[in-house]
Amino acid sequence: MIYPILRRLGQMLFVMFGISVIVFLIFFATPGSDPAARIAGRNASPEVLEAVRHSFGFDRPLYVQYVLMMKKIFVTGDLTSFVNRGWKVVPAVLDSIPVTLSLVFGAAVLWVVVSIIIGIVAAATRDSWLDKLLMALGLLGISMPVYWLGEVMNLFTQSRYHDTWLFSWVPPLGYKNFSDDPKGWFLTLVIPWVTLAILYIGIYGRVLRAAIIESMQEDYIRTARAKGLSETRILLRHALRTSLIAFVTLFGLDFGALVGGSALLTEVVFGLQGIGKLTYDALQSLDLPMIMATVMYASMFVVIANAVVDFVYILLDPRVKTS
Amino acid sequence: MMLSVRDLKVSFRTDDGLVRAIDGVSFDLEEGEILGVVGESGSGKTVSLLAVMGLITDPNAVIEGSIRYRGRELVGLPARELRRLRGNEIAMIFQDPMTALTPVYTIGWQIAEQIQAHRKVSRSVALARVEELLAEVNFPNPREAMSRYPHQLSGGMRQRAVIAMALSCNPALLVADEPTTALDVTVQAGILDLVRKLRATHNSAVVFITHDMGVVSELADRVMVMYAGRIVERGSRAELFGDPSHPYTRALLGSIPPLTGEKPRRLPAIPGSPPSLLRLPKGCAFAPRCPARYEPCDGAKPVLTGGSHAAACFRVAQA
């Protein structure tokens, strides 16, 4: 049991190393990308360029620059921004992690619970008006872009209907620390959670319904019927259980990506200073240390999420373990 | 009479019209009797027994006729009451053991689930019963087998697990749908022994569906031969094998290689193929392939005539 875990950890480290090298090379070694020129600004004289180059260490060999940067991210933690000199990058990333995690975790709980209910109900009442209604709603949820939905939510909860009983509880935009103000934390995040979850509820509900209906065609469902089990039990214990495998795959990918910064649009719309927002701002100003740090963080989460998914697979499907 | 099926008709609504998969099948089964049901693929042998089990869930299926089990009419019985019989008094073994078990649960869990669906017993009592059952179907190490997942067992072992599951509530009637088709010959023999033992120890009646005449000749008390959704001949094993009267039965028997004496260089085969259920001939469905075909065969469908040994053939009726 120890050996596979170690091997898995090794694979994760290798993937992260690969990602860091690729990102580093894209920004530092692509022809025409001269970080010194960007920092020095337009019309900088060759002398200034040279000075910048030396000051930031761009005149040293690439591998030295790479190792230095990794050391500053992972060991000393004192990597500073190119754009905002003196601004430490690692604490900035660490500060934004709770924001993104709060947003994505809450939304994930919401979308997993609701989509499982929708998937089961739709599959159980297959081809009925209820099934059709749920699937139409799911499609609607998928087709609403999150930035648009977020703005509409804001329009309703912050402005148009803010003074009615319905939304008067909604606090102004922004993030409140859980440790300082748990109630405020919860209330500010409710609307972002719902907004982010709606898309995934639509996708997951539809995927789960299809998977359950496919499972219901399997031979072992006929066996379960021949055993004299109730339809509810057949659906929940036999069909749903085998359908969750596709569901978990999808979840691992989406969750990892969201925590790694894909929740950007939601973060921007609701004024949450999360990882997505941080990465976005860094890309705007081509702040390489910050980009490097957020990418490393994101890749770490994607890799971890995938490892967790593989582990859950083993729990869900005993066939994975032996093959 | 334990099971009495009268004029059973099963049809499916399709885009090309109503397809009648079973057309007026009637048969009886005594307590403790083994009935062999023989026929080619698509002859309706499986569908007719699925109808008995109430396992035709296709919303486009139409089931007519009467199925009486120990005096109770099963056609139109509420789902809840049918469930109480299924797996409890009437159990079924399916053709392909590879796909018949849910892949994500252990053998022990799946068998205990059935026991607990019908008996008010605790988990541990159910599991103890599972161990007994697995020993009964010759698992060398039942306790260990209980914790195995289906994919960890061979085909023969899975089929024995499926049989153990079917036997878990001591069914009075066991329907076995080609339980040996997917297995090796040596494993097959073991399964047949098991079915025999089951009848001896539990006095269960068995309906054994197969396309293998050899299996039937070893096992069945009575035999029913089906073709294109109808019974073409039925009788005791001795009658059917000693004196087959329907040309189709004779052709089927002719295609078994003899065990002794000189083997023919080529086994005789029945020319042609079974008719499509969408385009059944007006007369006897077997007529296009029949060596004894004559005028009346194309006029109307022959009805089953005779006493305990009956055949649906104009030639036989005439003789």
Over residues B99-123, the pLDDT tens digits come to: 899 999 999 999 999 999 999 999 9
Residue A56 clears pLDDT 70, i.e. is over it: yes
Query: Which residues touch A245 (CB under 8 Å, ≥6 apart)?
Result: A211, A313, A316, A317
Query: Quick one: A106 and A69 in the same domain?
Result: no
Residue A53 clears pLDDT 60, i.e. is over it: yes
Residue A111 clears pLDDT 60, i.e. is over it: yes
Question: How far B19 CA sits from the closest chain A CA (Å)?
Answer: 21
Task: List helix spans (H) across B86-224.
Answer: 107-118, 123-136, 142-146, 155-167, 185-202, 213-219
Full residue range of the structural domain in which residue A262 is found: 96-322
What's the total number of domains in chain A?
A: 2
What are the tens digits of pLDDT across the range B74-90?
988 898 999 999 999 99
> Within 10 Å of residue A277's Cβ, how many Cβ atoms?
22
Average pLDDT over residues B43-50: 90
ipTM over 0.85: yes
Residue A110 clears pLDDT 60, i.e. is over it: yes
Question: How far A117 CA sits from the closest chain B CA (Å)?
Answer: 21
Mutate which of A212, A213, A223, A247 to test chain B, going by most B C-beta atoms within 10 A?
Answer: A223
Domain presence at residue A162:
yes
* Contact (CB<8Å) A220/B99: yes
Query: Quick one: A32 and A123 in the same domain?
Result: no
Least CB–CB distance from B117: residue in A227, A316, A322? A227
Residue type, A72: K
- Residue B55: its chain A contacts at CB < 8 A? 222, 225-226
Query: Quick one: A32 and A117 in the same domain?
Result: no
Query: Quick one: A247 and A301 in the same domain?
Result: yes
Whether A55 has its CB under 8 Å from any CB of chain B: the answer is no
Least CB–CB distance from A318: residue in B100, B104, B118? B104
Query: Residue B61: phi, psi to the nearest 5?
Result: -90, 140
Residue B56, SS3 per DSSP: coil
Query: Quick one: A155 and A262 in the same domain?
Result: yes
The span from the CA of B180 to the CA of A50, in Å, is 83
Residue B63 clears pLDDT 50, i.e. is over it: yes
Query: Quick one: A143 and A55 in the same domain?
Result: no
> Of all helices (H) and strands (E), which one includes residue B222?
strand B222-227
- pLDDT value of position A12: 86
Scanning A212-241 for CB atoms below 8 A from B yields: 218-220, 222-231, 233, 237-238, 241
- CA B258 → CA B211, B261, B265, B266, distances in Å? 17, 7, 12, 12
- pLDDT value of position B258: 67
- pLDDT value of position A323: 46
| Reported pTM | 0.83
- pLDDT value of position A131: 94
- Residue A223: its chain B contacts at CB < 8 A? 94, 100-102, 162, 165
Least CB–CB distance from A227: residue in B87, B96, B105? B87
- pLDDT value of position A321: 65
What are the tens digits of pLDDT across the range A196-214?
999 999 999 999 999 999 9
What are the tens digits of pLDDT across the range B132-165?
999 988 888 999 999 999 999 988 889 889 999 9
- Minimal Cα distance from B56: which residue of A? A222
- Residue B102: its chain A contacts at CB < 8 A? 220, 223-224, 238, 241-242
What are the tens digits of pLDDT across the range A226-268?
999 999 999 999 999 889 888 888 898 898 888 887 888 899 8
- pLDDT value of position B123: 93
Residue A133 clears pLDDT 90, i.e. is over it: yes
* Contact (CB<8Å) B87/A230: no
- pLDDT value of position A33: 67
Domain presence at residue A217:
yes
* End position of a domain, from candidates A41, A76, A111: A76
Least CB–CB distance from A223: residue in B85, B88, B100? B100
- pLDDT value of position A194: 93
- pLDDT value of position A177: 84
- Minimal Cα distance from B52: which residue of A? A226
Query: Which residues touch A6 (CB under 8 Å, ≥6 apart)?
Result: none
The span from the CA of A222 to the CA of A225, in Å, is 5
What are the tens digits of pLDDT across the range B7-16?
999 999 988 8
The span from the CA of A233 to the CA of B119, in Å, is 16
What are the tens digits of pLDDT across the range B271-311?
788 888 888 888 888 888 888 888 888 888 888 888 888 88
Q: In percent, how much of chain B has pLDDT > 90?
A: 42
- Residue B104: its chain A contacts at CB < 8 A? 241-242, 316-318
Of residues B160, B18, B16, the one with CA closest to residue B100: B160
Question: How far B102 CA sits from the closest chain A CA (Å)?
Answer: 5
pLDDT band at A37 (very low <50, low <70, confident <90, very high): confident
Query: Quick one: A122 and A267 in the same domain?
Result: yes
Domain presence at residue A161:
yes
Residue B27 clears pLDDT 80, i.e. is over it: yes
Q: In percent, how much of chain B has pLDDT > 70?
A: 98
- Minimal Cα distance from B58: which residue of A? A217
Query: Quick one: A228 and A101 in the same domain?
Result: yes
Query: Quick one: A47 and A127 in the same domain?
Result: no
Query: Quick one: A46 and A193 in the same domain?
Result: no
Query: Residue B55: phi, psi to the nearest 5?
Result: -105, 10
The span from the CA of B166 to the CA of B175, in Å, is 9
Mutate which of B47, B80, B81, B104 to test chain A, going by most A C-beta atoms within 10 A?
Answer: B104
All domains in chain B, ordered by first residue: 3-89+169-259+270-318 (3.40.50.300)
Mean pLDDT value across chain B: 88
Domain presence at residue A88:
no
The span from the CA of B250 to the CA of B252, in Å, is 5
